[in-house]
């Protein structure tokens, strides 16, 4: 599954079932978006989040603006009340709360979070780490409010991601 953020459009993907994230070390990590105009919102050693998603603005599947430009996208601190229905999957549906960790591999500013990209998204090992953001911003201040850099998952396999509230989803950005 994906989470779509458009404008350019944006959304999240379906949960992964097993294995590495195929395709993210191909076109996105070396040359930007795929020919169909989509790109994952994740960083790898070959490409940062910034370089792969265009300049904005971005809207969700319902047409709600997420951010006008890159600075606003990465600087925006979403408040819990802002999040209702804002980050959705490719069908416009809310992300289940127990799958709110979205794989990014990025620091809050959209640059690569060293050591947190599951070997550039090629590993499905329980070892390693995957930086994730939250698709819902918790009202509890003890939890990160970052949509792109909340914390590291304790491994790169489906079980490790699920243990902390993830399902292997990615942010997807469609570029006009």
Distance CA 31, CA 69 (A): 20
Rounded CA-CA distance 108/43 in Å is 11
User: 145 is written with which tokens?
Assistant: 């409010």
Q: What is the DSSP pairing of strand 65-67 with strand 8-13? A: unpaired
Provide the pLDDT for residue 94: 86
Do 134 and 151 meet the contact criterion of CB atoms below 8 Å apart?
Answer: no
pLDDT of residue 6: 40
CATH domain 2-175 topology: Mannose-Binding Protein A; Chain A (3.10.100)
Query: What pLDDT, on the 0 to 100 scale, is given for residue 44?
Result: 54
- Pick the more confident residue, 151 or 64: 151
Q: Say how many CA atoms lie within 13 Å of 120 toward its Cβ.
A: 12
DSSP string, 66-115: EESSHHHHHH----GGG-TTTSB-TTSPBPPGGG-EEE--B-TTSSB-TT
pLDDT at residue 164 in the model: 94
Q: Answer whether 138's CB lies under 8 Å from 80's CB.
A: yes
Mean pLDDT over all residues of the chain? 74
Could you tell me the residue ranges of all domains in the chain? 2-175
């Amino acid at each position: 599954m994906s989470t779509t953020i458009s404008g350019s459009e944006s959304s999240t993907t379906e949960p992964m079932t097993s294995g590495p994230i195929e395709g993210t070390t191909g076109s996105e990590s070396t040359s930007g978006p795929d020919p169909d105009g989509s790109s994952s919102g994740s960083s790898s050693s070959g490409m940062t989040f910034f370089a792969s998603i265009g300049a904005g603005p971005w809207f969700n599947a319902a047409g709600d603006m997420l951010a006008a430009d890159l600075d606003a996208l990465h600087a925006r601190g979403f408040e819990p009340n802002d999040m209702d229905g804002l980050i959705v999957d490719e069908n416009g549906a809310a992300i289940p709360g127990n799958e709110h960790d979205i794989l990014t591999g990025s620091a809050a500013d959209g640059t690569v979070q060293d050591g947190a990209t599951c070997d550039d998204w090629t590993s499905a090992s329980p070892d390693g780490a995957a930086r994730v953001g939250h698709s819902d911003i918790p009202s509890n201040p003890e939890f990160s409010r970052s949509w792109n850099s909340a914390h590291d998952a304790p491994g790169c396999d489906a079980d490790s991601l699920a243990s902390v509230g993830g399902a292997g989803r990615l942010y997807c950005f469609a570029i006009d």
